[in-house]
Amino acid sequence: MRYVELVKQLRRRNGLTQQQVADFLHIDRSTYAYYEGGRTKISVESLLNLSRLYQITLGQMVGEDVPADILADDTDYSTALIDDSIVRFAQLSREEQYLVILYRSGTDQQRRELLMQANELTAPDED
């Protein structure tokens, strides 16, 4: 499978819009749409970020040793949208979705730091 097809399939399986992924990559939605359509080559930086977002290796991102469940062509995306986790994600505000994407795309260390910062920001003030 070409990686451009995988990019679209991964986005759909994760219940994300093109705009959400484009925002994550800090690019225009139209540029991302060109990625999915194969009209523009995906930069190495974007491929790395996408592999972090979807929690797969860069090798898997470009089509090497991709697990069968990622490539399942029989996925019915209309019923996948009913899945509770996708529905809940869609109900989050844009800022909340962005935080989830940031968390999922980070390394273990970055995730720990993000959680520590969130705890510090939400801790009650000690007067």
**pLDDT tens digits in sequence order for the chain, 127 residues long:** 467 788 898 899 888 899 999 988 989 999 999 999 989 888 888 888 888 888 888 777 776 655 555 555 544 433 333 344 555 666 778 788 788 777 877 788 888 888 888 888 887 776 5
Q: pTM for this one?
A: 0.53
26: Cβ contacts below 8 Å, ≥ 6 apart: none
Please check whether residue 61 is in contact with residue 50, taking contact to mean a CB–CB distance below 8 angstroms.
yes
Tell me the C-alpha distance between 57 and 59, whole Å: 5
**Structure tokens that stand for 10 in this block:** 């991964």
Please check whether residue 1 is in contact with residue 63, taking contact to mean a CB–CB distance below 8 angstroms.
yes
Instruction: Give residue 38's region: left, alpha or beta (phi > 0; psi -120 to 50).
Output: left
